[in-house]
Chain A
Amino acid sequence: MTHTDEHPLPFWRKYVFSTDHKVIGIQYAVTGLSFLLFGFGLMMLMRWQLAYPGQPLPFIGHLFHEKAMVMGIMLPEFYNQLGAMHGTIMVFLGVVPLAVGGFGNYLVPLQIGAPDMAFPKLNMMSYWVYFLGGVTMFASFFLPEGAAQSGWTSYSPLANIATTGQTVWLVGMIFLITSSLLGSVNFIVTIVQLRADGLSFFRFPFFVWAQFVTSFLLLLAFPPLEAAGVLQLMDRLAHTSFFMPSGLVVAGKVLEVSGGGNPLLWQHLFWFLAHPEVYVLILPAMGIVTEILACNTRKPIYGYKAMVYSVIFIGFMSFIVWAHHMFLTSMGTKMSAFFQITTMIISIPSVVILTALALSLWGGSIRFNTPTLFAIAFLPMFGIGGLTGLPLGLVASDIHLHDTYYVIGHFHYVVAPGTIFALFAGIYHWFPKVTGRKMSEFLGKLHFWPSLIFTNGVFMPMFLLGLAGVSRRLYDPIQYAHAQPTQPLNVFISICAWCLGLSQIPFILNFFGSLLWGKKVDKNPWEATTLEWAAPSPPPHGNFEHLPEVYRGPYEYSVPGQRHDFWPQHMKEEN
């Protein structure tokens, strides 16, 4: 199971089918980033149609197949594919693989002082199954009828009667679910079993806690979606009627199915996963932000224990809020009251975490480097995302706001300037560990400020659209009279979105440029305390020269009486 460094491994074992958690982490991160970029590209295409409906896409419009665009004018089929695949790719192929697969794989063994994950081969398999899922999803665009087009939520019966792309989507999802399950088992065992001696649970860096809770969410919430996926596959391939009620008439023809199914069954099973999935997106991000803020404020995190209890509580509660996505189905008032209450309750621990992070700044000595900027921006952005969940979590206001752009604005604030900013922060922060070189601060700031401005430019106007009652997932927003006055906002959003795309160029330049020309650094350039900084940069196979022992909590910065303002976890003596 373990490899020794005496025999150099052939290239394909070392970099392709590697069992080293760091290589797998990098593979996950690079694949995830590529999918993020791809998913972003899909969105930029959609934004053209939304800003200038029915007008030909300039320059690149004629490059598309005639089933996607005719004379550069986007067809609704293609628009719906872009919508469904943007969501799927961003969530399941971009953010989660980057946050959990990338950061989790790379950092968790390092932060707990382990030489590798508990099951390295399983880890490799997890990546390659994910890769297969990604290829499947990507390839579905090239089907004769294109990719899935029933939204990332794939509500039945629409998804049941949809084109073949939906079947491929389901197969891809089953790959991704399998990959997540393998990964989460690995994380749980690694964290529980392979901690360094002396590393008790309350000495974990918060990031490890976040990954630990996330793994349980993945482990226990994904299987019901797998069950739902199997049932929808059966519906599509074996013509069962799990989600098809009796008496359907599609396009004037009575549908020849046995009937007796329930469309809401899909929604229940889907959201049973998909709400915890929201926390799978956000918890690792909170973990990353915590690490970076502790290091760059040079002081311990305020209320670390309260944050740990909050994150555990969030994990629990996230399993009993799912039906707040279904308030406007025919749910009874008692049930909707129950889910409104749980929804309000789950907001409290998020407030606790956000407050603790903001209070951690107080009394610090804040270094405003690029990772810190992104991490700080995460706080108000996630705050907006969380606050705007409030009117959606109350049925009365949800009646008006349900399935409008308000919802889009809300969850994008959580995920885009929230989670993705945290992920950028993490990339800038741990780049020196992974490569031994620092990223450019100048390009980093050139990346940060436009990104901050333009993400807000994209998502803030969506709240106005939502209040105006504009439905989401509209191919052509100006068909409705009530959506016409907001059309200038759509143009504004689209321009901001394209500028946001341009703002990522400094990052890409920085990423590749720093690989080659970045300033070389030693093992602990940020003077941080957690265990990953005790390993060489980049860490060799097996990570540590000696398995470290842990003597104190994760964030012992500026301890009075110490010579240095940081006291690493593994240092026995005074620093």
Chain B
Amino acid sequence: MEKYYGWGLPIDISTHGPEIDRLIYVIHIFMALLFIGWFSFLVLALFKFRARPGHRATYKLDHFKTPTYLEVGIALFEALLLVGFSFPLVHKVRNVFPDESQALQVRVVAEQFAWNVHYPGGDGIFGKTDIHKITPANSVGLDEKDPNAHDDIVTINQLHIPVNRPVITRLSSKDVIHSFGIPVMRIKQDVIPGQVIPVWFEAKKTGNFEIACAQLCGLGHYRMRGFFTVETEEEFTKWFVSQPPFVALPLPPVDQSIVPSPPQGEREG
């Protein structure tokens, strides 16, 4: 099996990931050059100007020009990092969403300490949800009276996606702040309770990977591990149809006091 993880950046399987990696490399090379140059100067100064008999310190030195140029250079380079790398990439990742009809849409509802993954089912429409309907068997609180909910699929800690197709994930949390991170996907987003936050990504490579929670969310933070499977379109479809739809659940007694769920697909800015 191919080695996914090691002592540095993990394997990168996302379409936008190489740009992030490139930025990380560029910054680290810049850091290394700056540090080595600066450190050599330090060592030289320490050696050259060590206290010794017959050596006396100089009171006033001429003004050094080079450091000023260097500082201006650093400032310009930082400006370049911002304008040339960070801004466009952030714009692309955060603002330019893929066409919703082309993309796989999925909701991820975080809770202590699991990722509930909610697929809209064959109709492509998410069923209504209601926090009062949450039970161990109905972990996202789907409303059985909504016909759109009947074919919905909910898995726990299993996010399957097809390769080479954009995925739009709407993140929300039941309880505390979590952070939805997929290291190999170079994607990470804090999940803030009370908000629905969309993120998108596209995988270039199949395999079995991980979702990690990056924000301390309680005692089980360390084991809030989700499984992230990237499959070919056929494998994905096979997996998808093999999942039991929500309607298979027995209907609970009718409850009239339905609290409307927060509007789906709302973009948070």
Contacts and interface: CB of A to CB of B under 8 A. Distances in A.
Interface of A: 76-77, 80, 83, 149-151, 155, 157-158, 161, 245-252, 254-255, 261-264, 297-300, 302, 326, 328-330, 332-333, 336-337, 340-341, 344, 347-348, 351-352, 355, 358-359, 361-368, 376, 379-380, 383-384, 387-388, 390-391, 394-397, 399-404, 464, 467-469, 471-477, 479-486, 489, 557-560, 565
A527 to B, nearest CB: 12
A255 B34 CA distance: 52
B269 A330 contact: yes
B24 A397 contact: yes
A359 B56 CA distance: 16
Given A480-B225, A486-B5, A558-B57, 5 more contacts: A80-B216, A251-B112, A365-B50, A395-B86, A557-B59
Given A394-B27, A400-B188, A468 B91 contact: no
B131 A249 contact: yes
Contacts of A298: 51, 56-57
B226 to A, nearest CB: 10
B175 A161 contact: yes
Contacts of A155: 176-177, 215-216
B125 interface: no
Contact of B188 (A379, A402, A464): A402
A332 B95 CA distance: 9
Contacts of A403: 179, 181, 188, 214-215
B35 interface: yes
B10 to A, nearest CB: 6
- Among A263, A328, A359, chain B packs the most CB atoms within 10 A around the CB of A328
A482 B31 contact: no
A358 B42 contact: yes
B176 to A, nearest CB: 4
A549 B137 CA distance: 80
Nearest to A401: B24
Given A77-B219, A245-B194, A467 B8 contact: yes
28 contacts: A157-B175, A157-B176, A158-B217, A245-B195, A248-B174, A249-B134, A255-B175, A261-B194, A263-B192, A298-B57, A344-B75, A359-B67, A368-B51, A383-B35, A388-B31, A390-B81, A394-B27, A396-B93, A468-B6, A471-B221, A472-B214, A472-B216, A475-B222, A477-B222, A479-B223, A481-B5, A482-B210, A558-B59
B218 interface: yes
Contacts, number: 293
Contact of A362 (B61, B177, B181): B61
Contacts of B93: 396, 399
B186 A400 contact: yes
Contacts of B39: 380, 383
Contacts of B194: 245-247, 261-263
A473 B192 contact: no
B122 to A, nearest CB: 28
B168 interface: no
Interface of B: 4-10, 19-20, 23-24, 27-28, 30-31, 34-35, 38-39, 41-42, 45-46, 49-52, 55-61, 64, 67, 70-71, 74-75, 78-79, 81-82, 85-87, 89-91, 93-95, 111-112, 131-132, 134-136, 141, 174-177, 179, 181, 183-184, 186-190, 192-195, 197, 210, 212-223, 225, 259, 262, 268-269
Given A251-B112, A328-B179, A480-B225, A263 B193 contact: yes
Contact of B216 (A158, A390, A476): A158
B75 A348 contact: yes
A154 B19 CA distance: 33
A478 B145 CA distance: 43
A387 B31 contact: yes
Contacts of A329: 190, 192
Nearest to A562: B59
A400 B134 CA distance: 33
- Among A161, A332, A341, A394, chain B packs the most CB atoms within 10 A around the CB of A394
A150 B6 CA distance: 30
Nearest to A260: B194
A363 B183 contact: no
Contact of A464 (B8, B50, B195, B220): B8
Nearest to B215: A403
Nearest to A347: B78
A158 B176 contact: yes
A161 B176 contact: yes
A258 B32 CA distance: 52
Nearest to A297: B57
Given A297-B49, A368-B51, A387-B31, A464 B7 contact: yes
Contacts of B57: 297-299, 363-365, 557-558, 565
Nearest to B58: A363
Contacts of A340: 82, 86-87
A488 to B, nearest CB: 9
Nearest to A478: B222
Top 6 nearest A-B pairs (CB, nearest first) are A245-B194, A469-B183, A363-B58, A403-B214, A396-B89, A299-B57
Contact of B268 (A261, A300, A330, A359): A330
B59 A263 contact: no
B222 A468 contact: no
A97 B241 CA distance: 62
Nearest to B180: A328
A361 B60 CA distance: 12
A484 B8 CA distance: 12
B71 A348 contact: yes
A351 B67 CA distance: 10
B151 to A, nearest CB: 24
